[in-house]
A and B are shown apart, each in its own frame.
Chain A
Amino acid sequence: MTDDLNDKNLLKNLLKAIKELTKVLKNSDFKKNTQNYNNLDEVRNKRIQIKHENAITSPMVGTVYLSPEPKAKNFIKQGQVIKKGDTLLIIEAMKTFNPIKAGKSGKIEKILVNDSEPVEYGQPLLVIK
């Protein structure tokens, strides 16, 4: 695991993938968004392709929120030490707010999503070390 993370090439590729994804997400063109919805599987597969070891993945399709309410402090920040059972973020799907909790204690290595961003099933949300 530690070896993997030290592998510069891997990290480089990951960053590249994240940048590409952010571009896709920032796409605010309506028509394209609708097309994206039509190509749901394609988009989903693209997002899941980025593999992270120890990543917590999204159990559902929805919208991710990093704080309990708008303008409030985020649940977690990078580098923070968390305990098993702590709420990490919230995913809103079909009008219900589902808190995503830590399955183990550890340190937040990286947060891979932005607030109010759509997430797909199986998409890595954050990495706990």
Chain B
Amino acid sequence: MFKKILIANRGEIALRIVRTCRDLGIKTVAVHSVVDKDSMHVRLADEAVCIGKSSIKNSYLNSFAILSAAEITNSDAIHPGAGFFSENYDFSSMVKKHKIKFIGPTSEQIKMFGDKITAKKLMKKNKFPVIPGSENYLKSIDEAIKVAKKIGYPVILKAGSGGGGKGIRVIKNQKELLSNYTIVKQEVKNSFGNDNVYLEKFFDNPRHIEIQIVADKNGKVIHLGERDCSIQRNKQKIIEETPSPSLSNSQRKKICNLVVKTIKKIGYESLGTVELLYKNQKFYFMEMNTRVQIEHTITERITGIDLIKQQIKIAAGQKINLNQKDVQFSGHSIQCRINAEDPLSFIPSPGRIEEYHSPGGPGVRIDSALYAGCVVPHQYDNLISKIIIYSRNRNEAILRLKRCLIEYVINGVKTNIPLHLKILNSKDYNKGSYHINWLDQFLSVNY
């Protein structure tokens, strides 16, 4: 097992990893930018190294500084968290060359799945259904126009190495394609380091359902069920739940088994999430995420399995000590993502947290790096907290979630808590009848 892990991330996910490392008795090293010097992941880690100025490019995407920090602290592994370098082939192979273990799949697997087009081709070859779209990355705006015409508007413009809703746009016509092409490319370059984009057919109101898998290097692959992440605004997940209210037990079993079978054939080690679109009882492969997901928490809640712990153990070369039949699913779990933004205009709201009080009680988990007096910088993501609710059934979980949203005190920045309450009070959400465009439509009708 590793003796010391450097966590190349910030905010709640870095803190989440620090916590599991402590549970496993592993020492931790936090890295941080200038503006993050007093943040929670820095305070709770055993050691901390400042890796640069506050802009992402100069700090959390500064591979040389991060590797130097790992070297000087004698870390034997790097956990990339989610976002930043978590799905970056160049970074993971650099880490490997320095004889430090990258906690995740092999660099080759990151490259294979990280490249969305290669991944789609791979899944298609293994007889897994995929979304129609461009066969390769777009070389120019002219090519984009040609492909869009062929598959028919509306289309989705997507980043090759994207995630977290960044660098994705729904394009209704050629005029929108022209005005969005460069902006999306730039957004992608800033967030992920390269600017590959491609086009995909836009489905009318599908659901986003993803399957969590755990795989080790001995070829063992198990699934931990699905997550329904269809409540999205601007292609960004806001509320996730498991089990999905739209799947029957036999549908769930069928798709989970197909995913496990396909991943086994391809070969993979570490945590992985196979993201699917679900429409008219059919599933289509979108992409495979080769990192821990922001919403891994709800799977942990209903299975009782610590996913970060599994990820670290697999990276250390250990076998998965679980069999598929040992995985028990019980109850219902929902996660709300609390963002620092205006709940109506969605304008980002960075600033200083003046007052802070987090909810509690049975079945409540809060993953957040906030504390009274801390600063939410404008340079980074606006996700500031996650409320994870567990209850015996969906109705009780919704009631408990509403209680927590009302209890939560975050003063100093605006948050989307009022929006969450509106969603949870809506008829559609309570019935479980929603899809990935539901929230945008709900907002345009209700505001």
- Say whether B183 contacts A61, CB under 8 Å: no
Q: How long is the Cα–Cα vector from A10 to B348 in the complex, in angstroms?
A: 34
Q: How long is the Cα–Cα vector from A113 to B347 in the complex, in angstroms?
A: 20
- Say whether A60 contacts B348, CB under 8 Å: yes
When A61-B350, A94-B380 are in contact, do A34 and B35 touch as well, CB less than 8 Å? yes
B318 proximal to A (CB < 8 A): no
Q: How long is the Cα–Cα vector from A87 to B186 in the complex, in angstroms?
A: 15
Q: Mark A110-122, 1 if CB is under 8 A from B, else 0.
A: 0000000010000
- Say whether B380 contacts A90, CB under 8 Å: no
Question: Do most interface residues of chain A lie in helix, strand or loop, or is the interface mixed?
Answer: mixed
Q: Mark A38-82, 1 if CB is under 8 A from B, else 0.
A: 001000000000000000000111110000110010000000000
Number of interface residues of A (CB under 8 A): 24
- Say whether B348 contacts A62, CB under 8 Å: yes
Which residue on chain A has the smallest CB distance to residue B352?
A: A40
- Say whether A30 contacts B34, CB under 8 Å: yes
- Say whether B166 contacts A94, CB under 8 Å: no
- Say whether A97 contacts B187, CB under 8 Å: yes
Option from B185, B187, B189, B348 in Cβ contact (under 8 Å) with A61:
B348
Q: Mark B334-349, 1 if CB is under 8 A from A, else 0.
A: 0000001100010111
- Say whether B347 contacts A92, CB under 8 Å: no
- Say whether B382 contacts A69, CB under 8 Å: no
Option from A68, A93, A95, A118 in Cβ contact (under 8 Å) with B166:
A95
When A61-B350, A62-B348 are in contact, do A94 and B182 touch as well, CB less than 8 Å? no
A106 proximal to B (CB < 8 A): no
- Say whether B348 contacts A96, CB under 8 Å: yes
B351 proximal to A (CB < 8 A): yes
Option from A30, A59, A90, A94 in Cβ contact (under 8 Å) with B350:
A94
Q: How long is the Cα–Cα vector from A40 to B183 in the complex, in angstroms?
A: 29
Q: State the Cβ distance, A91 to closest chain B Cβ, in Å.
A: 9
Q: State the Cβ distance, A44 to closest chain B Cβ, in Å.
A: 10
Contacts of B346-394 to chain A: CB distance below 8 A: 347-352, 375, 378-382
- Say whether A37 contacts B375, CB under 8 Å: yes
- Say whether B187 contacts A69, CB under 8 Å: no
Q: Which residues of B contact A90 (CB under 8 A)?
A: 183
Q: How long is the Cα–Cα vector from A62 to B380 in the complex, in angstroms?
A: 10
Between A and B, 22 residue pairs with Cβ closer than 8 Å are: A30-B53, A33-B34, A34-B34, A34-B35, A37-B35, A37-B375, A40-B352, A59-B347, A60-B349, A61-B348, A61-B350, A61-B351, A61-B378, A68-B182, A69-B185, A69-B189, A87-B179, A93-B350, A93-B378, A95-B380, A95-B382, A97-B187
List 13 other contacts, CB 8 Å, given A59-B345, A62-B378, A97-B187.
Answer: A33-B34, A34-B34, A34-B35, A37-B375, A59-B347, A61-B348, A61-B378, A68-B186, A69-B186, A94-B340, A94-B348, A94-B380, A98-B347
5 closest Cβ contacts across the A-B interface?
A94-B348, A94-B382, A93-B348, A68-B182, A69-B186
